[in-house]
């Protein structure tokens, strides 16, 4: 993660956060189990832990929005209705 070595700004932090969220299925279990090696850079682990703490809240907010505005047409599993509403999943 060479990007950590240089100067960072809000745009770079946004890119790092977005990438980390997208890759969470690959690092989440290892972080939880203490198996990620940060080579003495504890700020990287702290960043992921902090990011990880925001995800359930955001997922819950997204679920509420889907249930309120999308589920009636696109169905509970996001498969839609053939010929009427396209699948989302």
CB atoms under 10 Å from CB of 48, counted, come to 19
Mean pLDDT, rounded, for 47-73: 81
Whether the predicted pLDDT of 1 surpasses 70:
no
For the chain, give every domain's residue range. 2-60
| Chain segment 2-16, per-residue pLDDT in tens | 666 667 788 888 888
Q: Which residue has the higher pLDDT, 13 or 76?
A: 76
H helices within 1-89, ranges in order?
10-22, 24-32, 42-69, 71-74
Distinct helix (H) and strand (E) counts, the chain: 4, 0
Whether the predicted pLDDT of 26 surpasses 80:
yes
């Amino acid at each position: 993660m060479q990007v950590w070595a240089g100067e960072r700004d809000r745009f770079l932090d946004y890119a790092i956060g977005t990438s980390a969220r997208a890759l969470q299925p690959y690092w989440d279990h290892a972080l939880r189990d203490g198996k990620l090696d940060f080579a003495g850079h504890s700020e990287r682990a702290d960043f992921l832990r902090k990011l990880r703490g925001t995800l359930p809240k955001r997922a819950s907010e997204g679920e509420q929005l889907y249930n309120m505005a999308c589920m009636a047409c696109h169905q509970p599993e996001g498969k839609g209705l053939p010929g009427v509403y396209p699948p989302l999943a």
